[in-house]
Structure 1
Amino acid sequence: MQFETCPPITSDDGGNDTANDLILHRTPVEYRHTVAELEDEVNRVMIEGCKVDACLDLFLFRVLCYIPEAEKSARFGQWRYYFTTAIDMVPDEKRNNLTMELQKNLNRLLPGYLGDGVDDILTHAKIKDRLQNRWQMMKKDGRDVEDEGKDKISKSLVDILMEKQYNQRAGLAEAPSSNDQASFVESCRKLRSLIEDERASASFSCGGTIHITSSTHTGTEKKDLTSSPPVSIFWNKGYDAAAHKLVLPTDISLPGASPETLQQLVSDCDPASFGRGEQDVIDPEYRRAGKLNADQFATSFHPADFGILDNVGQVLLQSISTETDNQLQFRRIKAELYKLNVYSGPSGLFRKHVDTPRAANQIGSLVVCLPSKFTGGSLSVEHHGQKVNFDWSEKSNTVIQWAAFYSDCEHEIETITSGNRITLTYNLYVTEPIGGVIPSPTATVDPRTLSMYGWMRNLLIDEEFMKEGGVLGFFCSHAYAHSSKLAHAQLPRGLKGADLVLYSVLKSLGVDVDILPILESNGHYGKGNAALEITGKPQQHRQSYMDRYDWDRGELCGYLEHGGKALDLAYTEVLPNPRRLNEYEDIDRCWKLLMMARKVKGMEDALQGARANGLPVNEESFYKSPGVQVGISRHPYQTHDEGYEADLDEVVQDVWPAYYLPGITWITEPKHEEMAFSQIAYGNEASIGTRYSCAALLAVIPPSAQRCGILRQG
């Protein structure tokens, strides 16, 4: 086969160009191997190497456990780095048992690998250097990861992708027919359409009105939740100052209901600030208002007394519960008084902004407009291109008016032209009632009544849909503080809108689903999928990301061009470490896990170069769709002092433990990025580089043989 080959690709901007992007100097060459033969050889070498390393890892884990604690302390600087020192510290009897176990395991997984007449397996040519390399990679900090329940990624999620990639690389997977593939793509598109429709139609705000009445409640009659007595506000401007009382509206005959007292409140307010980055800023051109903090005033108005929180919960945070084993927690909303604000005419305003969440489980804000005459000052709330306008001026002196909206909504208060717009602002939090889960008969909404439920159930009943199982990935429609220290408390409890509906429907169908962070690579979250029109890039793409690109194509291109020489593959291993004991002991699972976690350096570039030179490439190749790094938990943001010259995958394992998971079928695009971690980056001057993550729902779809019978009976 004579084709043209290309020299190594270089660029001046960090190496992001590919063979298809450049005009290359090409010289004719006689290829010795096809791309299919290259992939077969890579898979053979990888399978053999992972089987060997799985045996070695178990052996080394036991060595670590058998080193006496006194010896560890006395020779700390030696045994941690040199395997030969460590093994000499193990008692002879245990050492002999360990070497016999190692040889037995290798002979079982790789018959004939060691050859005949092995005297000392630890000095064997195929084992000696590899032992030292694996020992250096092994984390030996003594951390008991068995007790870290929060750092456990779903075993079913890992295993189903692990088996899927093994079958692909071992040639055991059955290639889908063109009709099956077309049907699968159409189902995925329909699913995305349902999610987008749910997202577009989901309410992101709600509001209402409470009338003012002069009647008082005796406690014997049923309270009218639609009306309220006049509202009292109490405040002072210091510990020694006399307290003031204002009653609203001011045109009624009650003590404290006077325009003069209202003006006293206005003058006693401090200038209101707003957040800009990590600072509180006072800028009258952006926000002109007065404020009292929650510890400076009290009020007779409480939103829970009028059913406002129940209404907000019904609209913004549907309480969905099921009777399955994995039923969703019952949610309620708690309101915490945050501030009193006064916007006065003719210039009070607050330009477009997004509120800063005060805690990980905060889901939104509630604004209550008290009865005080004003004109102008409409509140507009925007979310995903939709806009709701709350114009409270017309009834401002006669009723209490309120609005609630999600934390990630952009909103604005237009200019007050006259009067005083007085509002109480509450932060809204997700809580759980004492006693845990509320039985499903009391739930507000049952997932089985949602339109998505029936369609999703029918899809999973279809035996041809993901026949061998797999994982569907959905990037969250809403922004959540998934890289905060309180992310475990927030998610999944704080899910909202389309995310909540999707999560609840999947849970009700018995699907194992979790919310985990996905780490970007050069600003991409996965390779994308042209058939599904998925790019893997957020719509609001940042101007720059930390570059990561592996140049190691000489070995692979050399095999294609020259053949003969056995491949000595370079790879990065993205796998949480230290791992749990059962992962070491289950060697058959462990070697497949290692193979999934290893990214072959230069493979993607070798395929691009081969295609550019006319060499046939399998478009369904496993290597055509590299995986993503999935955090084992919702990591809090961290900084790291490792330099930019360090391999980014190594830095990830130190500060952001993750699995490398190929084979996820992404249904939606990434939307909301958060800072995952930062590290030192070197250029003309040292600076801080940051990598980002997006939260995603990952749903484990069992093989059809396991799921269809159960769903038909349900």
Structure 2
Amino acid sequence: MADNDVPENPPTSGVPPEEESDDELYFRAPKVEYRHTMADLEAELNRIMTRSCKIDACIDVFISRVLPLMKEAEDTRRRRNAYFSSYYFNEGLKKLAEDTIEPLKRELRENLNRLVPGCVPDENKDVLSGLKHRLEKRREVMVRTGGYGEGAIPRSLLDTLVEKQYRERVGHAAQVSSNEESALTESYRQLRNLIEDERSMASFACGGSIPITVHTHIGENRSLVACPPVSVFWSKRDDAAAQKLVLPVDGTDHQTDLDALRRLVTECDPASFGRGEQDVIDPEYRKAGKLDSNQFATSFHPADYGILDNVGQVLLPSIDSETDNELQFRRIKAEMYKMNVYSGPSGLFRKHVDTPRAANQIGSLVVCLPSKFTGGSLHVQHHGHKVTFDWSDKSDTRIQWAAFYSDCEHEIETITQGDRITLTYNLYVTEPIGQLLPSPTAPMDPKTLPLHGWMKDLLAQEDFMKDGGVLGFFCSHAYAHSSELAQNYLPRGLKGADLVLYSVFRSLGAEVSVVPIIDNNGRYGDGNPALGLSGKLPKRSHYYLGDDDWHGSTGLWEYLQNGEKQLVPSVMEIMPSSGECEDVDQRWKFLMMVRQVKGMTELLQSPEERGIAASEGNYYRRQGVHVGASCHPYETHDRGEGEDRDELMKELWPAYHLPGITWITEPKHEEMAFSQIAYGNEASIGTRYSCAAILAVIPPSEERASILRQA
């Protein structure tokens, strides 16, 4: 429906009849005769919702302009009252100077006439005269807060979902053929499988780099964010003086370091490899030099640069038990194994699998020291998937590293020129005394994660989410998201597939958030029927508050059964506070998104069984999810008895109602969000729960090409 596509005699707005005298703007439409189909019901709801949202958006913009003026005009006491009291708000409007308030009234009238033609009954009458009741209600919405800050949800995510639901309501969504729909569903299914089988794909390897500089400093995660030139000391005999090499070879002692490099290459022993129970030297299979760990020392230590913390976040979750992951006791320990030198023009190591040296060894870490070479890409394969580490371009300017599981097959391509010098560490699981919170970014490079290439290719497809959208992933691992530390802990504490998803989407230009999703009688939205996702946890042992959605279905049933009464839907508006009010057209679409028609869930469960023809439309069949505006610490409240469940949530747990998220996984780990008085014959405590989720904003296909070129 276009902005001005409103009937000459629009239906009522949905305000209860007892409020008619307070708002003449809403009750000018005559009663109409209705038919008895679901299609008629959805069409009528769209007309009612569109009209009321447009009117309220105009009022919201007016109030957003007025409130700052009233605060400037009153003293401290009156300013506080004017802001929080309906009485003082209306009194404050009267006290504003005429030259201040009149332009805002004209803007309000113009917006109303443009969006809802004919709704202002008398052009010569004060436009506020028929809006007293609506002004009071909308002012309460504009200043409502729940005691917690907003900001966890980016504006781009809200705007994307606003446009998505608007296109669906008015029939402007991109048409998708059955073949395209099947291909899209298959892409979602593959992504789900990759995430849930994180050891096979999403996180069997990771890597990154650290720049070489003479100026270093400590970053926020207490790790060095740059590395000075690396010193290498070696000696082949216990009674010989150690020799020294500084890498990269580009300092004032260039020739001295170059000579030292040549000596290092010459003095390395031929590198062997395991074949059965024997160590074999075969230049056709592996051509490289090596020094054992007792023959050399280096100034570089991976723990100083956050490498082990990042490796642990990615690789540990898929080898630990669920209990270990929840307690977060285990961490990675690196033990130096060997130095290897692969020199051009023929250094190489064909496909092989490392032999674990102990029961608690989980993988290997390879650190490439800064020395110029070409060729020599490292390919790591696991369960049919491959990731490539090509270090040649920045080989003389950065420390580069890769970590992977012990059972990964890997190979080193032929070195065509220069010397590829690497330190190899065995990675073991250990149990530390404490736990740090490493950064999910540097020094890890998301491009080295196996999922990166697959996801980049998927986003490059023009037919994938052509209009853009939001992908939702319930976190694979448990995090303390309902605590005072949650805002700092997430996303810093992500691990495994969760860290992989977060890092990959960010590197591909998507805006990513980690947010809490609150349950609705044990459900977390509608899931994704195309993938067989229910939006529920497999096992629910908690006591949930009862579902009161059926209270709003009475008027809907009366409309469907006889149509004698005007349709007056019960509407719940779920958003934390005023939000963005600069653009009135965006505002009314936003209000359409965050408003739910109560009773539709109960009504639409089985309309055919009651003899009602089902509608081809499906917008009102989707519940959407309640997404927290920020992470909230758990609290108990003495409110709730006799109060509407979702109305109470708006004050205790500020959230947005967001339909249109494409969910890829099921919810897995709940935490208590808040507890309240539950209704019933006797007072009891009811608890609502929440799950942490990762939301990624996917731009439309025409915008992705330039973004992906830089990724």
* TM-score with structure 1 setting the length: 0.62
How far the C-alpha of 1:80 sits from its partner, in A, is 0.5
How far the C-alpha of 1:481 sits from its partner, in A, is 1.3
TM-aligned CA distance change 1:619 to 1:354, over 3 Å: farther
1:429 alignment counterpart: 436
TM-aligned CA distance change 1:639 to 1:77, over 3 Å: farther
Contact map agreement 1:474 1:697 (CA 8 A) in 2: yes
**Aligned pairs, how many?**
494
The one-letter amino acid paired with 2:186 is: E
3-state secondary structure, aligned to 1:494? coil
Residues 35-54 of structure 1: pairs in structure 2 closer than 5 A = 35-54=38-57
Contact map agreement 2:593 2:657 (CA 8 A) in 1: yes
Contact map agreement 1:54 1:590 (CA 8 A) in 2: yes
Report whether the alignment pairs 1:489 with 2:488: yes
Q: Deviations over 1:591-640 (max 9, x none)?
A: 11111010011122233353222333235511111100111122222233
Distance 2:452 2:323 in 1: 36
Residues 180-579 of structure 1: pairs in structure 2 closer than 5 A = 180-199=180-199, 312-313=308-309, 315-318=311-314, 363-365=328-330, 404=429, 425-431=432-438, 443=443, 445-550=444-549, 551-563=551-563, 565-579=565-579
Distance 2:631 2:361 in 1: 33
Q: 1:88 aligns with which of 66, 87, 94?
A: 94
How far the C-alpha of 1:431 sits from its partner, in A, is 3.6
How far the C-alpha of 1:222 sits from its partner, in A, is 6.5
How far the C-alpha of 1:501 sits from its partner, in A, is 1.3
How far the C-alpha of 1:687 sits from its partner, in A, is 3.0
Q: Deviations over 1:340-382 (max 9, x none)?
A: xxxxxxxxxxxx966986xxxxx434599xxxxxxxxx9999x
Contact map agreement 1:43 1:170 (CA 8 A) in 2: no
Report whether the alignment pairs 1:707 with 2:707: no
TM-aligned CA distance change 1:305 to 1:687, over 3 Å: farther
1:107 alignment counterpart: 113
Residues 66-215 of structure 1: pairs in structure 2 closer than 5 A = 66-67=69-70, 68-70=73-75, 73=78, 76=81, 80-82=85-87, 84-124=90-130, 127-139=131-143, 151-199=151-199
In structure 2, runs of 5+ residues without a counterpart are 1-32, 205-230, 236-298, 316-321, 334-358, 363-404, 406-425
3-state secondary structure, aligned to 2:63? helix
The one-letter amino acid paired with 1:135 is: R
Contact map agreement 2:641 2:683 (CA 8 A) in 1: no
1:598 alignment counterpart: 595
The one-letter amino acid paired with 2:138 is: R
TM-aligned CA distance change 1:461 to 1:308, over 3 Å: closer
Query: Cα RMSD between the aligned structures?
Result: 3.8
Instruction: Give the stretch that moved more between structures: 482-491 or 636-645.
Output: 636-645
Q: Deviations over 1:295-329 (max 9, x none)?
A: xxxxxxxxx9997897853641249xxxxxxxxxx
The one-letter amino acid paired with 2:101 is: R
Distance 1:701 1:548 in 2: 33
3-state secondary structure, aligned to 1:151? coil
How far the C-alpha of 1:162 sits from its partner, in A, is 0.5
2:391 alignment counterpart: none
How far the C-alpha of 1:135 sits from its partner, in A, is 3.1
The one-letter amino acid paired with 1:313 is: D
2:11 alignment counterpart: none
Contact map agreement 2:533 2:665 (CA 8 A) in 1: yes
How far the C-alpha of 1:171 sits from its partner, in A, is 2.5
TM-aligned CA distance change 1:611 to 1:79, over 3 Å: same
Distance 2:234 2:710 in 1: 47
1:678 alignment counterpart: 675
Distance 1:663 1:122 in 2: 36
Q: Deviations over 1:494-519 (max 9, x none)?
A: 21111111211111211111111111
Contact map agreement 1:63 1:86 (CA 8 A) in 2: no
The one-letter amino acid paired with 1:69 is: E
3-state secondary structure, aligned to 1:427? coil
Q: 2:615 aligns with which of 608, 618, 632?
A: 618
Contact map agreement 2:203 2:496 (CA 8 A) in 1: yes
Q: Deviations over 1:161-199 (max 9, x none)?
A: 111111111222244222222111111101101111215
Q: 2:657 aligns with which of 655, 660, 678?
A: 660
The one-letter amino acid paired with 1:588 is: D
TM-aligned CA distance change 1:159 to 1:84, over 3 Å: same
Contact map agreement 2:326 2:478 (CA 8 A) in 1: no
Distance 2:79 2:123 in 1: 37
In structure 1, runs of 5+ residues without a counterpart are 1-29, 205-219, 225-303, 320-351, 358-362, 369-377, 382-387, 389-400, 406-423
TM-aligned CA distance change 1:71 to 1:403, over 3 Å: closer
Contact map agreement 1:463 1:708 (CA 8 A) in 2: no
Contact map agreement 1:506 1:699 (CA 8 A) in 2: yes
Distance 2:80 2:428 in 1: 66
Q: Percent identity?
A: 47
TM-aligned CA distance change 1:356 to 1:590, over 3 Å: same
Contact map agreement 2:195 2:202 (CA 8 A) in 1: no
Distance 2:202 2:92 in 1: 60
Q: Deviations over 1:212-257 (max 9, x none)?
A: xxxxxxxx99799xxxxxxxxxxxxxxxxxxxxxxxxxxxxxxxxx
* TM-score with structure 2 setting the length: 0.62
Distance 2:498 2:85 in 1: 46
TM-aligned CA distance change 1:84 to 1:713, over 3 Å: closer
Distance 2:50 2:432 in 1: 60
The one-letter amino acid paired with 1:80 is: S
Distance 1:667 1:702 in 2: 17
Distance 1:102 1:133 in 2: 17
Distance 1:534 1:670 in 2: 9
Distance 2:500 2:705 in 1: 22
Distance 1:305 1:454 in 2: 30
How far the C-alpha of 1:90 sits from its partner, in A, is 3.0
TM-aligned CA distance change 1:495 to 1:140, over 3 Å: closer
3-state secondary structure, aligned to 2:605? helix
